[in-house]
Amino acid sequence: MIHHNFKVISSKCNYLDHKYNLFNTWDNKKDYKNLLNQKWDKLKFCNKKNYLNVVNRLYLDDEAFYGKNFYMHILKRYMIKKRLIKKEATNSDVGIKFNSLNNKKKVLNKIKIPVISF
What count of residues does the chain have?
Answer: 118
Distance CA 8, CA 13 (A): 14
Contact 116, 63 (CB under 8 A): yes
pLDDT value of residue 108 = 83
Residue closest to 14 by CA, chosen among 45, 56, 67, 54: 54
Dump pLDDT digits (tens) for 56-106: 887 887 777 777 778 888 899 999 999 999 999 998 999 899 999 998 888
Domain residue extents for the chain: 9-60, 71-111
pLDDT score recorded for residue 88: 94
Contact partners, residue 6, CB within 8 Å, separation at least 6: none
Burial of 32 per CB tally in 10 Å (0-12, 13-18, 19+): middle
Whole-model pTM: value is 0.53
